[in-house]
């Protein structure tokens, strides 16, 4: 999530314990208006823009959206009462361009930090001075230290030379965290565990920070191993969050709140903000940063307090008093939020861009919120963050909330209260077990779904044909004096499976697999955009969700999911996705940020070849084996599609013979 209404920098932060701060008073400044707000410009995109629009609509405010070339047909653009184009897909030329945002504010007459104040526009957020001071990590650390807020040891100085930063890292002691002073969300952050890898990690963090925030100034901090947290993370990005934080006593929570209040008062804060602390195993906590906005995970706070923090932010900006005092806020129950990412866990969580071919979500109710910025058919852009939605649940207690979360996600159960940020790395084998071969029952379900699709397509042909007796207008398998039999070939990874199918007179099917004979019947049922297969396999009834995409059958049930493919004939098959033989391929769609090799270079296995940027994250492409670079297919600044060949390599002996 970025700033709710004016985004100066996109920051979703490292390890945290969450405290929301609201400062009240009679002091007026550029962020507090004195009249009624009737229209609001939301200078952001995706699920958070949609979330703000829903509250604005509920309380009778008109909403104005901004969109880039990549978001012309996006959900937030369609939801708004008005929408204005602000430039190319690249964030630096659109969503991060303040002049363009202000121009839209003038055009739309929306009551939209310092530039807003100069234009006489209400900025829905804190004073510009607070954004400036808290937006730079090094500055915020100095202010918090002076205010008596505990901070973690580190270097926040102006000397940014490689030598100085490396000296400070050695003084602090490895491992250290290298962080962009304007960064967050895992962007511009790297861990250097030894002096030998410090320079490579520093350069990588700088490149990513410059691309994401237009600023590559860094700070160095001691890296805290396995800190206590109210989130589960990977790549320093939160993916599961909860409130209240587990294992935090009332006394520690009180101290956290007091420290957060001191932090807010130190910068004369007004409005909604988030103070983040890092806590070690002994419950010692240290200031990490203050986000001058609502965080991505603000819904978990709303769920346990019964509030709408976006509405509160709008009311504060209009000069109204807070609806409740601190004493009137009571925590009730427990809440979890799961972020939904367009990433491939089987490919090291690399982001995936492209069309969203199928999307179905749990039904929303009083205890379940679906915060989404995409619809089925939307394009997931390679230019923006891979988070596309959030699932938020509430329960009477932590156990009930976890049960609800499991029901909605059908994923691994992590119930232990001792949650830390290394959870995924330590439990990777349990979270991502080796893929299981679909069962024979699932193979029968896939075969039935394909047969029923054939019948549906045949019926459509029959309805549009003038010859209803055409043999192409029937697929019921009826034969004189004999039952129709056919063989269907399905593909499971690299292996092919044959199923012998007999059409029975009553409309059912007998399916013979390698391990047994099954009696199968059923029908496709459509509910909105979702298709279910209501079927019986040898007397066992089930109703899995079925998605048929080209030559692939996806089966989803409460027990898990299965994927079965139909082999594509060789004459119809496209070019293999494995790339050029002996070369390196792009693991995802992205922009070539840096080319590190040239034709004729000798490389060893694991040597860096290129640096790619995809969805604001940097990825280093390394040599799959030792050899000589025969050809480089991409230049810096060009875009490569997933599975595109990046370089061609040959054995060193072969190169010497040419």
* 81-103 residue pLDDT tens: 999 999 998 887 888 888 888 88
**CATH assignment at residue 376:** 3.30.470.20
Say if residues 174 and 195 touch (Cβ distance below 8 Å).
yes
Whether residue 521 is found in the same domain as residue 616: no
Decide if 5 is inside a domain: no
Catalytic (active-site) positions = 293
Residues 6+ away with beta carbon under 8 Å from 304: 243, 244, 331, 332, 333, 334, 335, 394
Distances (CA, A) of 600 to 466, 543, 596, 629, 656: 65, 58, 12, 5, 10
Domain assignment present for 22? no
Least confident residue range of 131-140, 325-334, 627-636: 131-140
Closest C-alpha to 178, from 153, 151, 206, 158 = 206
Q: For residue 621, how many other CB atoms are within 10 A of its CB?
A: 22
**Domain-embedded: residue 190:** no
The domain spanning residue 509 has which CATH number?
Answer: 3.30.700
Give the per-residue pLDDT at 123.
76
* pLDDT on residue 281: 76
- CATH assignment of the domain containing 632: 2.40.50.100
- Residue 538 lies inside a defined structural domain of this protein: yes
What average pLDDT does the segment 300-326 reach? 89
Which of 431, 460, 488 is the last residue in one of the domains?
A: 431
Give residue 446's pLDDT. Answer: 94
Q: Which of 289, 420, 332 has its CA nearest to residue 19?
A: 289
> 16: which strand partners?
none
Q: Are residues 287 and 423 in the same domain?
A: yes
Query: Token pair for residue 248?
Result: 């935090």
pLDDT of residue 103: 84
Question: Does residue 597 sit in the same domain as residue 559?
Answer: no
Place of tokens 């932590």: 398
Greater model confidence, 87 or 213: 87
- Co-location of 104 and 142 in the same domain: no
What's the CA dihedral at 12, 13, 19, 21 to 10 degrees?
Answer: -60
Q: By C-alpha distance, which of 626, 632, 633, 634 is closest to 654?
A: 626
Q: Which residues of 62-95 are buried (b: 16+ CB within 10 A; e: fewer)?
A: bbbbbbbebbeebbbbebbeebbebbebbbeebb
CA atoms of 616 and 45, how far apart (whole Å): 15
State the average pLDDT over residues 13-36: 39
d(CA 444, CA 517): 10
Angle between helices 250-266 and 137-146 (to 10 degrees): 110
Q: What is the 3-state secondary structure (H, E, C) of 598-649?
A: CCCCEECCCCEEEEEEECCEEEEEECCCCEEEEEECCCCCCEECCCCEEEEE
How far is residue 642's CA from residue 189's CA, in Å, rounded to a whole number? 25
What is the per-residue pLDDT for 30?
37
Query: Which spans in 465-605 are helix H?
Result: none
Q: pLDDT value at position 579?
A: 38
Tell me whether residue 213 is in a domain. no
What six digits make up the tokens of 629?
A: 């670079």
- Mean pLDDT for the stretch of residues 29-52: 74
In sequence order, what are the residues at sequence separation of 6 or more whose Cβ sits closer than 8 angstroms to the Cβ of residue 541? 535
Q: Which of 642, 106, 31 is nearest to 380 (CA)?
A: 642
Number of H helices, E strands in the chain: 16, 36
Inter-CA distances, 32 with 127, 424, 658, Å:
9, 42, 73
Whichever domain contains 76, its CATH number is 3.40.50.20
Residue 397 phi, psi dihedral angles, 5° rounding: -145, 180
404, 272: one domain = yes
CA-atom Rg of the chain in angstroms = 28
Closest CA to 472 of 480, 456, 461: 461
Q: Please give the average per-residue pLDDT across 102-107, as a whole number.
A: 80
What percent of the chain shows pLDDT beyond 70?
Answer: 77
Looking at every residue in the chain, the average pLDDT score rounds to 79
* 471 and 597 housed in the same domain: no
Residue 180 lies in a domain: no
Query: Which pLDDT does position 315 carry in this prediction?
Result: 87
CA distance 243 to 313: 20
Encode pLDDT of 495-552 as tens digits.
889 999 999 988 899 999 988 999 999 999 998 778 899 999 999 999 998 988 778 8
Q: Are residues 546 and 630 in the same domain?
A: no
**Digit-coded pLDDT (tens) for 465-483:** 666 666 555 556 555 555 7
Q: Given this model, what pLDDT does residue 532 score?
A: 92
Structural domain includes residue 334 = yes
User: 338 and 479: one domain?
Assistant: no
Are residue 394 and residue 455 in the same domain, yes or no? no
| pLDDT tens, residue by residue, 537-546 | 999 999 998 9
Domain boundary among 103, 123, 143: 123
- Helix H, strand E, coil C: the string for 524-554 is EEEECCEEEEEEEECCEEECCEEEEECCEEE
Residue 65's pLDDT band, with cuts at 50, 70 and 90, is very high
pLDDT for 435 = 66
**Where would I find the H helices in 43-180?**
46-58, 75-79, 98-108, 114-119, 128-135, 137-146, 162-172
Instruction: For residues 278-297, give the mean pLDDT.
Output: 82
For the full predicted model, state whether its pTM sits above 0.75.
no
Domain that holds residue 344: 133-152+224-431
Q: Give the span between the Cα atoms of 607 and 609, in whole angstroms.
A: 6
Q: Which of 586, 594, 589, 588 is nearest to 637 (CA)?
A: 594
User: Do the domain assignments include residue 656?
Assistant: no
Crossing angle (nearest 10°) for helices 137-146 and 128-135 = 100
pLDDT for 112 beyond 50: no
How long is the chain? 658
Bigger pLDDT: 134 or 324? 324
More confident residue, 1 or 239: 239
Helix (H, G, I), strand (E, B) or coil at 535: strand
What's residue 115's pLDDT? 56
Cα 387–Cα 389–Cα 393 angle in degrees, nearest 5? 125
Reference 239, options 423, 88, 381; nearest CA is 423
Q: Is the pLDDT of residue 12 over 60?
A: no
In angstroms, rounded to a whole number, what is the distance separating the alpha carbons of residues 514 and 512?
7
Q: Does residue 279 sit in the same domain as residue 414?
A: yes
Which residues, in sequence order, are CB contacts of 526 under 8 Å at separation 6+? 532
Rounded Cα distance between 60 and 37, Å, is: 10
Q: In total, how many domains does the chain have?
A: 4
Question: Of 411, 431, 451, which marks where a domain is finished?
Answer: 431
Backbone φ/ψ region at 40: left (φ over 0), alpha (ψ -120 to 50), beta:
beta
H helix runs in 433-501, sequence order: 440-464
Span of 87-91, 185-189, 405-409 with lowest mean pLDDT: 185-189
Farthest CA pair distance, the chain: 93
**Is 80 exceeded by the pLDDT of residue 31?**
no
Distance in angstroms (rounded) separating the CA atoms of residues 244 and 253: 10
Q: Are residues 284 and 409 in the same domain?
A: yes
What is the rounded distance in angstroms from the CA atom of residue 423 to the CA atom of residue 254?
27
- Residues 598, 539 share a domain: no
């Amino acid at each position: 999530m970025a700033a709710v209404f004016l985004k100066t920098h996109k920051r979703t932060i490292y390890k945290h314990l969450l405290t929301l701060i609201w400062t009240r008073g009679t002091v007026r400044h550029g962020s507090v208006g004195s009249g009624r707000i009737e229209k609001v410009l939301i200078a952001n995109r995706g699920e958070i823009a949609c979330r703000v629009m829903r509250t604005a609509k509920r309380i009778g405010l008109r909403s104005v959206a901004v969109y880039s070339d990549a978001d012309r047909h996006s959900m937030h653009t369609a939801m708004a009462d008005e929408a204005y184009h602000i430039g190319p897909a690249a964030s630096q030329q659109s969503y991060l361009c303040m002049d363009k945002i202000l121009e839209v504010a003038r055009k739309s007459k929306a009551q939209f930090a310092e530039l807003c104040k100069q234009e006489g526009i209400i900025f829905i957020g804190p004073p510009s001075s607070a954004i400036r001071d808290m937006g730079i990590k090094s500055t915020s650390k100095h202010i918090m230290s002076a205010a008596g807020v505990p901070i973690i040891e580190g270097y926040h100085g102006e000397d940014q030379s490689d030598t100085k930063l490396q000296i400070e890292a050695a003084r602090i002691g490895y491992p250290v965290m290298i962080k962009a002073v304007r960064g967050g969300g895992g962007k511009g952050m790297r861990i250097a565990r030894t002096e030998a890898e410090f320079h490579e990690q520093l350069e990588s963090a700088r490149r990513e920070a410059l691309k994401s925030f237009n600023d590559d100034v860094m700070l160095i901090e001691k890296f805290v191993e396995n800190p206590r947290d109210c989130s589960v993370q990977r790549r320093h990005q939160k993916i599961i969050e909860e409130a209240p934080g587990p294992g935090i006593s009332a006394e520690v929570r009180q101290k956290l709140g007091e420290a957060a209040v001191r932090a807010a008062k130190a910068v004369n804060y007004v409005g909604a903000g988030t103070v983040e602390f890092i806590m070690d195993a002994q419950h010692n906590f240290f200031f990490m940063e203050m986000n001058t906005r609502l965080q991505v995970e603000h819904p978990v706070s709303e769920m346990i307090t019964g509030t709408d923090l976006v509405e509160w932010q709008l009311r504060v900006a209009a000069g109204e008093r807070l609806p409740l005092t601190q004493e009137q806020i009571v925590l009730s129950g427990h809440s979890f939020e799961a972020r939904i990412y367009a990433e491939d866990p089987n490919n090291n969580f690399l982001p995936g861009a492209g069309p969203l071919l199928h999307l179905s979500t749990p039904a929303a109710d009083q205890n379940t919120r679906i915060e989404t910025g995409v619809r089925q058919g939307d394009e997931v852009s390679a230019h923006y963050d891979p988070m596309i939605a959030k699932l938020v649940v509430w329960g009477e207690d932590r156990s009930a909330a976890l049960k609800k979360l499991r029901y909605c996600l059908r994923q691994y159960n992590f119930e232990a209260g001792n949650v830390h940020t290394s959870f995924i790395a330590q439990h990777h084998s349990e979270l991502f077990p080796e893929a299981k071969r679909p069962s024979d029952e699932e193979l029968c379900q896939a075969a039935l779904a394909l047969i029923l699709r054939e019948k549906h397509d045949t019926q459509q042909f029959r309805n549009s044909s003038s010859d209803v007796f055409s043999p192409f207008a029937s697929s019921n398998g009826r034969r004189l004096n004999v039952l129709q039999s056919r063989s269907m070939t399905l593909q499971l990874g690299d292996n092919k499976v044959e199923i012998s199918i007999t059409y029975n007179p009553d409309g059912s099917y007998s399916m013979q697999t390698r391990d047994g004979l099954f009696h199968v019947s059923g029908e496709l049922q459509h509910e909105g955009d979702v298709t279910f297969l209501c079927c019986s396999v040898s007397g066992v009834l089930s109703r899995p969700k079925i998605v048929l995409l080209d030559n692939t059958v996806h089966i989803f049930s409460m027990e898990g999911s299965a994927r079965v493919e139909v082999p594509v004939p060789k004459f119809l098959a496209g070019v293999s996705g494995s790339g050029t033989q002996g070369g390196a391929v792009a693991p995802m769609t992205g922009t070539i940020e840096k080319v590190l090799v040239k034709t004729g270079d000798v490389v060893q296995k694991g040597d860096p070849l290129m640096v790619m940027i995809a969805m604001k994250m940097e990825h280093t492409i390394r040599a799959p084996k030792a050899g000589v670079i025969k050809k480089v297919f991409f230049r810096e600044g060009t875009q490569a599609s997933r599975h595109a060949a990046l370089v061609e390599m040959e054995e060193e002996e072969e190169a010497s013979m040419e």
